[in-house]
């Protein structure tokens, strides 16, 4: 695959899946921009490849998202990856936590894809990709706001796909299971803190959600994103693609 002529934006590109996708697309020749709120993380990710540039942005703020695109210009591929998770029983989840999860995980995707599509007008080819989760395909206990947001991302993506279907643009959602990333490390730490489990036991508790008994690697998500941008992907539109070892 060669993406030499393509430009790519990846939100939340400083760590985890976002950083891995940035390297993967850069290795295929694409000009990659990664965005986030923490410049240090962005700089660390950008140092991995000469084709990666950074732009600071808060995806929950409409003005910030518009400014981001003003700085980088129209993109051929827009990947709305930025997200966060918090864990608590629903009866202990306050409104502030709910609003934070909806803002970064759903509103941030809406603002990113909307502005990305606006800047794609006139192009004959484009790819809009949201990074959702298996939490958007099923429920998980103790993460109701996160799961609700990810369900919303899938609904948003499916609706958007119908709007762009005749424009040479596709919109799809990637839905990984529990990933071998910093976000899962924080979940492991929470389990240890609340249960007293050892780290290996806590990690195994999370991994057992996957029928393959393991965490999904970021590179597997990157490979799926590249596939959606490669030749032969034109008919893949409006899909929520589970990357979960058979969990979904």
Per-residue pLDDT tens digits for 31-74: 999 999 999 999 999 999 999 999 999 999 999 999 999 999 99
Q: How far is CA 80 from CA 94, 105, 116, 131, 207, in A?
A: 26, 9, 10, 6, 25
Q: Are 134 and 248 in contact (CB under 8 A)?
A: yes
How confident is the model over 68-106, as pLDDT tens digits?
999 999 999 999 999 999 989 999 999 999 999 999 999
Cα(193)–Cα(191) distance, integer angstroms: 5
Report, as residue numbers or ranges, the catalytic residues: 146
Domain-wise residue ranges, the chain: 7-177+217-243, 178-215
Q: What is the DSSP letter of 107?
A: I
Q: Are 209 and 144 in contact (CB under 8 A)?
A: no
C-alpha neighbours within 13 Å on the C-beta side of residue 133: 28
Which phi and psi (to 5°) does residue 165 adopt?
A: -55, -30
Q: What is the CATH number of domain 7-177+217-243?
A: 3.40.50.720
**pLDDT > 90 in the chain, percent:** 86
Q: What is the DSSP letter of 61?
A: -
């Amino acid at each position: 695959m060669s993406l030499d002529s393509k430009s790519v934006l990846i939100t939340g590109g400083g760590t985890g899946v976002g950083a891995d996708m940035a390297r993967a697309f850069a290795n295929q020749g694409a000009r990659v921009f990664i965005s986030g709120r923490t410049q240090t993380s962005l700089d660390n990710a950008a140092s991995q490849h000469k084709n990666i540039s950074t732009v600071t942005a808060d995806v929950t703020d409409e003005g910030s998202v518009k400014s981001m695109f003003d700085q980088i210009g129209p993109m051929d591929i827009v990947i709305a990856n930025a997200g966060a998770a918090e864990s608590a029983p629903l009866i202990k989840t306050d409104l502030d936590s709910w609003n934070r999860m909806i803002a970064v995980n759903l509103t941030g995707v809406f603002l990113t894809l909307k502005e990305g599509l606006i800047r794609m007008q006139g192009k004959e080819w484009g790819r809009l990709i949201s990074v959702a989760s298996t939490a958007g395909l099923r429920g998980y206990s103790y993460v109701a706001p996160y799961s609700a947001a990810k369900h919303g991302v899938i609904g948003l993506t499916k609706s958007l796909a119908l709007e762009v279907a005749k424009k040479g643009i596709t919109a799809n959602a990637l839905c990984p299971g529990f990933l071998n990333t910093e976000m899962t490390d924080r979940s492991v730490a929470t389990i240890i803190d609340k249960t007293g489990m050892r780290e290996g036991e806590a990690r195994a508790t999370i991994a057992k959600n996957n029928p393959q008994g393991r965490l999904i690697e970021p590179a597997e998500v990157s490979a799926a994103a590249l596939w959606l941008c490669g030749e032969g992907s034109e008919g893949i539109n409006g899909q929520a693609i589970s990357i979960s070892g058979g969990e979904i």
